[in-house]
Chain A
Amino acid sequence: MTSTEQTVPELVDGLLDVRDLSVVYESPGAAPVQAVDHVSFTLKRGEFVGLVGESGSGKSTLGFALTRLQKPPARTNGGKIFFDGSDIRELDTEMLRKQRQGGFAMVLQSGMNALNPVRTIRNHFLDIFRAHGHVAPADREARAAELVRKVELEPSVLARYPGELSGGMRQRVSIALALSLEPQLMVFDEPTTALDVLVQHAVMDTIQALQKSENFTAILISHDLGIVLEATERVLVMHEGRIVEDGSSRDILERPQDNYTRMLLSHYADPRADVVELPGFPDRHARVAAGVTRAEAATSEPTVVTRSVRSADSAIVVDHVSKVYPPPRRGEKPVRALDDVSFTLEPGQSLALVGASGSGKSTLAKLVTGIEKPTEGTVRFGDVDVTRLRAKGLRDLRSNVQMVFQDPYAALNPLHTVEYTLSRPIHNMTDLRGDDARARLHELLETVGLTPTETFAQKLPHQLSGGQRQRVVIARALASDPQVLIADEPVSMLDVSLRAGVLALLEDLREKWGVSLLYITHDLLSARLVTDDIMVLHDGRVVERGVTADVLRNPQDDYTIRLLDAVPNPRRLREDVA
C-alpha cells in the first residue's frame, strides 16, 4: 500500500481478539436462535484464516458481527470484539464509519449484487474516497485505476455500470473497492460461491496473491473445506454456532481432532487418483471390474427394493444437435448454446455430462426432456422423435424420461405435503388407484430411504432437510417407473456431508432398477463416483469423451485439465506439503 505508512507487522501483536461472542436471531413469533454461541479466537496481523462450516453453522453471522454489519433480527447478545486494542462493539455510528477506512472491510457473498446498478464503477470508488478523504482529490483517478489493475481488470471498467460486467468482474470490483479502504482486516464471505467453477478458481488466486502483496489480515468464510485448506494457513471449523476446531491448515489436514472436521475431510478426494473412495463409496472402477454393486460393497445404508422393476430397454440418441438462442439484446450475435453434439445413452448406462456454466450442459438436458426444441438435429428416445412431440406426447415421454432438479428448495412446492407431491405422478402416469397408489407411494419413500414412510408422507418441504428434500425429488422422478433419469447437478446445492448419500441413492437405483442415468455436473469428483462414461462440454461442443476413470486420470483436452485443476482438494495440498 503506497499511501499509508503501515509497516509490515511482526507476528507478535494480535489484531483481533474475539471473546465469548454470541449472536442471536430474534424473529417475532419464533423462538430465538443462538446462531453464534460463545465464540472466542484471536487473529495475528498478517494471518490468513479460513472459517469453515456447513449451512446454518453461523459462519456468515459471525462474519457480519465482526464487522458490525448485522441487521435485525440478528443481534449480538454477548462478548467482546477487540480490534487493534479497542472493543468495536462500543463504537458509536460515526466512529464505526471512520474505522471502516484503515480498519476492517468486508467482501460479500453476492458480489454480483453488491454494486449500485445506477452508479458507474468510477463513482463507487469516488464515493469511498470522498467519504474518508484518505486519497487527495487529484490522485483519486489514478488510485482507482491502480486498484482496478490489482484485481486484474482494465481501468476502462471504471466507466462502466455494474450491469455491463460479468459476475466474476463484479466480484473483482467489489474486492478492489474493499481494498481501496486500505483495511488491516478483510473479511471475505463466500467470495466465490456464486461464481462459475473456473472463475471461482481465478478469483481465489487473485485473493491469495493480494493477501500476500498487500499484507492485510484476512478471514475467508466458506462452506468448502477444500477451498479454505488450499488458500489459508489456519482454519477455524464452525458447527452449530461453535468453533469446534482451530488449528493450522496442515494440522487439520493431517491430524484433525474433531469428529465433525474428520467427517468433512472424508468427503474430499482427487478425481484424478487411481483409486477414489468416499464414505459409502468403494472405488467404482475396481468394484465394476469385480462385478459388485455399490450396496454390496458398502456396508452402510442398505436400500430396500421390494418390487420387480422394468429395466430400460430404449436408448436416448442425440444426433448432430445444435441449439441457437436469439441474441440476448438487439445488435448482438445469436448465442450458439450447443454445436453439433451427438451421443447415445444406452439402456442402463450412466453418462456424465460435465462443463462449466455456459458450456451448454443444461440446454442439452432441456432438449433431451423435450422442454425445448433443437435448432438442428434430432433427439430420439427408442423410436420416438422427442423434437416433434406436443403436449400429449410429452406427457407420455415423461413417464419414461424423468428429471432430478438441482435445487431441492425450489423443486418442491412449499405448500404441498410429500404425499401430495408423490401422489400426482402416480395418479397421472400410472393406472394405480386407491390402496394400490398408496402402497406405491410408501414403496417410493422406502426406496429413497425416507422411513418411517407414514411420518415422511405427511411432512411439508420446510420440515425436511436439504438431503431429505432431494430424496423426495428423486422419489417423485421414480413414481412413473421411468427408464431414464436426467439429473441436473443433483447435489451441488447440498452440504458436502449430504452429497454422498444422495449420490449413493442414484447409483443404487441405476444398478438395481436398471435405469439409465444422464448425470449433468461441473463436479468431476461426483462424476467419477457415479458414472461409467463421461463427456466434457465446452462452449457447446464436446471436447473430450470416454470412460470416466480413464478421462479423469489421463485428460487430453486443456479444458478438462482446467476443470480438474479447479477441483479443491486438500489431499493434493498434503502431497505438496509432503
Chain B
Amino acid sequence: MKYIAGKLGLFVLTLWAAVTLNFFLPRLMPGSPADAAIAKLSQNGPVTEATRAAIEAQLGVPDGSLWEQYLAYLRQVVTLDFGVSYTFYPQTVSSMVSTALPYTIILVGVVTIVAFILGTLIGVAAAWKRGTWLDSLPTLGGSFMSTFPYFWTALLLLFFAGYVLHWFPTTGAYSATTTPAFTPAFIGDALLHAALPALTILVTSLGGWIIGMRNAMINTLGDDYVTFAEANGLRGGTVAIRYAARNAILPNLTGFGLALGGVVGGSILVEQVFGYPGIGYLLFNAVIGQDYPLMQALFLMITVSVLVANFLVDILYGVLDPRTRR
C-alpha cells in the first residue's frame, strides 16, 4: 500500500510538472506565438474578444503577471476547456481531441500490449535457447526491425499491401460509406482500416521488447537461484518460466514504461502516413496549420496518457514484486 501511495504521489507530482512544462514551452520560445496565432486567425475572419483572450491566456502575452496567466491556464486544464481551434474554427479543441482520442488509445494501446507480450515470450525463448537459431533469428531480426523508421515501415506496407496488392484500404479509420456504429459491418470495416497501422507498430516495436527481455533473462539465468533450481532437479520449463523469466520480467517492465513514449511518438508518424484520424494525425495537422491551442492540448493529452500508462505499469510492478510490499 505504501508503495502504491508513493507511486501515486510521484505520479501527481510528475503530472503537475508536465502540465507546467506545457505552460512554459510557448513562453520560452523566441517571438510571440500568440501574435502569430492571432494574425493567422484573423485571416479567417474577425477575431472576437473572447477568442483573443483565450489565445492570450494559453500562449502568453505580456499583459497579466505570469502567475495570473498560470492560474488561468491551470483552470483551463482542469476544466478541459482549451478554447477553439484555429484551423477547424469554430470547433472547440476539446471536442476534436475527444473525437480523435479513442482511435489512438485503442490502436496504440492494444497493439503495444500485444507487442510487449509477444516480444517478451520470444525473448524468453531466445535466452533459454541461447546460441541456437531460436536465439539468433529473433535477436538479429528483432534488432533489425527495431531500427526501421516507423514511417518507412508504414510507407512500405502501405505501398505493397495497399497500393500494389489492394489487400487493405489505404487511408482513414473507416470507409466513407459507413457511419460509426456498433454494428458488425462497421467494426469489421474499422478493423480492416486499423490492420496496416497496427502491423506497422507491431513490427517496429516488437524487436525492442524481444532484445530487452532476452538480455534481462540472460542476466537472471546467471543468478544463483537459477543454478540452485537446476541443482535441485527442477524441470527445465519451471526453471525457465518461474525462476528466470519471472524475475527478468521486472526490469523489462520498467523498460516497457520508459519505452512507451517512443512508441506513442512513432504512432504519430504512422497515423500521418495512413491518414488515420487519431491524436497523432491531428497533431500533425495542428503543426502544419500552426494551430497552437490544438497543438498544446494534444501534447498535454499525449503526455498525460503516457504518464497514466507508466503509473499503471508501476502498479503492476508492485503486484509482481513481493519486495515492494514491505
Using a CB–CB distance below 8 Å, which chain A residues touch chain B? 67, 69, 71, 93, 97-101, 105-106, 108, 110, 113-119, 127-128, 130-132, 161, 163-164, 174, 177-178, 181, 329-330
Contact = CB atoms under 8 A, between A and B. Distances in A.
A181 B231 CA distance: 10
Given A114-B225, A116-B242, A163 B233 contact: no
Interface stretch (B83-91, B205-213, B286-294, B318-326): B318-326
A131 B326 contact: no
Nearest to A128: B232
Q: Which residue of B223, B230, B231, B238 has the most chain A CB atoms within 10 A of its CB atom?
A: B231
A118 B247 contact: yes
A131 B233 contact: yes
Contact of A164 (B2, B223, B238, B326): B326
Contacts of B243: 116, 119
A161 B232 contact: no
Contacts of A113: 223-225
27 contacts: A69-B230, A69-B231, A93-B236, A97-B233, A97-B234, A99-B233, A100-B232, A100-B233, A108-B224, A108-B227, A113-B224, A113-B225, A114-B228, A116-B225, A117-B321, A117-B322, A118-B321, A127-B238, A128-B232, A131-B233, A131-B235, A131-B238, A132-B233, A161-B322, A174-B228, A177-B228, A330-B2
B229 interface: yes
A69 to B, nearest CB: 6
Interface of B: 2, 223-225, 227-236, 238, 242-243, 246-247, 250, 320-323, 326
A105 B232 contact: yes
Contact of B231 (A93, A108, A116, A117): A108
B224 A117 contact: no
A329 B326 contact: yes
Nearest to A64: B227
Contacts of A118: 246-247, 250, 320-322
A106 B231 contact: yes
Q: Which residue of B233, B235, B242, B250 has the most chain A CB atoms within 10 A of its CB atom?
A: B233
Contacts of A98: 233
Contact of A116 (B233, B236, B246, B320): B246
B235 to A, nearest CB: 5
A214 B116 CA distance: 49
Nearest to B237: A131
Nearest to A106: B231
Nearest to A163: B323
- 8 nearest A-B pairs in the assembled complex, by CB-CB distance: A100-B233, A114-B228, A113-B224, A106-B231, A161-B322, A116-B225, A131-B234, A97-B233
B67 to A, nearest CB: 36
Contacts of B230: 69
B251 to A, nearest CB: 13
B247 to A, nearest CB: 6
Contact of B235 (A97, A117, A164, A174): A97
A174 B229 CA distance: 10
Contacts of A99: 233
A181 B232 contact: yes
A113 B226 CA distance: 10
A99 B230 CA distance: 12
A329 B6 CA distance: 14
Contacts of A128: 232-234
Q: Which residue of B232, B236, B247, B323 has the most chain A CB atoms within 10 A of its CB atom?
A: B232
A177 B229 CA distance: 10
A369 to B, nearest CB: 33
A157 to B, nearest CB: 14
A113 B234 CA distance: 17
Contacts of B246: 116, 118-119
Contacts of B234: 97, 127-128, 131
Given A117-B321, A119-B243, A181-B233, 19 more contacts: A71-B227, A97-B234, A97-B236, A105-B231, A106-B231, A113-B223, A114-B225, A114-B228, A116-B243, A127-B232, A127-B234, A128-B233, A128-B234, A130-B238, A131-B234, A163-B322, A163-B323, A164-B326, A329-B326
Contacts of A115: 225, 228
Contacts of B323: 117, 161, 163
A210 to B, nearest CB: 17
Given A131-B235, A131-B238, A163-B323, A116 B227 contact: no
Contacts of A178: 231-232
A61 to B, nearest CB: 14
B317 to A, nearest CB: 11
Contacts of A106: 228, 231
